[in-house]
Chain A
Amino acid sequence: MTSPMSSAAAPLQVTVAPGAVTPAPDAPPQGGAGRSPGQLARLRFRRDRTGVVSAWVVLFFFVAGVAAPLIAKLYGKDPYTTYGQNQPGLLNDFGFPVKPNGGIGGDFWFGVEPQLGRDVFTLLLYGIRNSLLIATVTTLLVTALGIVVGITAGYLGGRVDNLVGRVIDVLLAFPSTLFFIAFWPVLISMFVSPEDNTPTWLIVVSLIAVMTAFGWAPMARLLRGEVLALREREFVEAAKVTGASPARIIFRELLPNLWTPILIQATLALPMYVTTEAALAFLGVGLQDPTPDWGVMIQRGSQVYQDDITYMLFPGLSMVIFVIAFNLLGDSVRDALDPRIRR
Chain B
Amino acid sequence: MTITDPLLDVSGLTKHFPIRGGFPFPRTVGAVRAVDGLDLQVAEGESLGLVGESGCGKSTTGRLITRLLEPTTGRITYAGRDITHANRRQLASVRPEIQMIFQDPYSSLNPRQTIGRIVAAPMEIHGISPAGGRERRVRELLELVGLNPEHYNRFPHEFSGGQRQRIGVARALTLSPKLIVADEPVSALDVSIQAQVVNLLQTLQRDLGIAFVFIAHDLAVVRHFSQRVAVMYLGRVVEIAHRSDLYENPRHPYTRALLSAVPEVTAEGAPPRDRIRLTGDVPSPIDPPSGCRFRTRCWKATDQCAARTPPLARIEGDATGHLTACHHPETVEKPAAAQGPATPG
Main DSSP-derived SS at the A contact region: loop
Chain B residues near A21 (CB-CB < 8 A): 146-148
| Contact code string A227-241 (vs B, CB < 8 Å = 1, else 0) | 000000111011111
B27 at the interface (CB under 8 A from A): no
Question: Of B99, B104, B109, B203, which is within 8 A of A241 by CB?
Answer: B99
**Are A257 and B152 in contact, CB atoms less than 8 angstroms apart?**
no
> CA of A191 to CA of B12 in the docked complex: distance in angstroms?
66
A88 at the interface (CB under 8 A from B): no
Find residues 1-58 in chain A having any chain B CB closer than 8 Å to their own CB: 1-9, 11-21, 23-25, 27, 29, 31-37
B121 at the interface (CB under 8 A from A): yes
| Contact code string B263-287 (vs A, CB < 8 Å = 1, else 0) | 1110000000110000000000000
Question: Of A5, A17, A238, A256, which is within 8 A of B247 by CB?
Answer: A5
Chain B nearest CB from A282 CB (Å) reads: 43
**Are B142 and A23 in contact, CB atoms less than 8 angstroms apart?**
yes
B102 at the interface (CB under 8 A from A): yes
Chain B residues near A235 (CB-CB < 8 A): 107-110
Chain A residues near B91 (CB-CB < 8 A): 243
**Are A8 and B110 in contact, CB atoms less than 8 angstroms apart?**
no
The A/B interface has a contact count, at CB < 8 Å, of 181
Chain A nearest CB from B61 CB (Å) reads: 15
| Contact code string B82-122 (vs A, CB < 8 Å = 1, else 0) | 00000010011001101110111001111111100000011
> CA of A36 to CA of B155 in the docked complex: distance in angstroms?
6
> CA of A179 to CA of B218 in the docked complex: distance in angstroms?
62
Q: How large is the interface on A (under 10, 10 to 19, 20 to 34, 35 or more residues)?
A: 35 or more
Question: Of A13, A15, A37, A241, which is within 8 A of B66 by CB?
Answer: A241
A242 at the interface (CB under 8 A from B): yes
> CA of A243 to CA of B98 in the docked complex: distance in angstroms?
10
A171 at the interface (CB under 8 A from B): no
> CA of A43 to CA of B264 in the docked complex: distance in angstroms?
51
Chain A residues near B340 (CB-CB < 8 A): 3-4
Q: Which residue of B lies closest to A23 (CB)?
A: B148
A161 at the interface (CB under 8 A from B): no
A209 at the interface (CB under 8 A from B): no
> CA of A291 to CA of B341 in the docked complex: distance in angstroms?
90
| Contact code string B135-173 (vs A, CB < 8 Å = 1, else 0) | 000010011111111111111011000000000100100
Chain B nearest CB from A320 CB (Å) reads: 37
| Residues of chain A at the chain B interface (Cβ within 8 Å) | 1-9, 11-21, 23-25, 27, 29, 31-37, 233-235, 237-245, 248, 252-253, 256-257
A-B contact pairs, 21 of them (CB 8 A): A2-B336, A3-B336, A3-B339, A5-B219, A5-B223, A7-B264, A12-B194, A13-B195, A16-B196, A17-B199, A18-B200, A23-B142, A32-B151, A34-B153, A36-B155, A241-B66, A242-B171, A243-B95, A243-B126, A252-B121, A257-B110
Closest 4 CB pairs of A and B: A34-B154, A243-B95, A234-B108, A256-B112
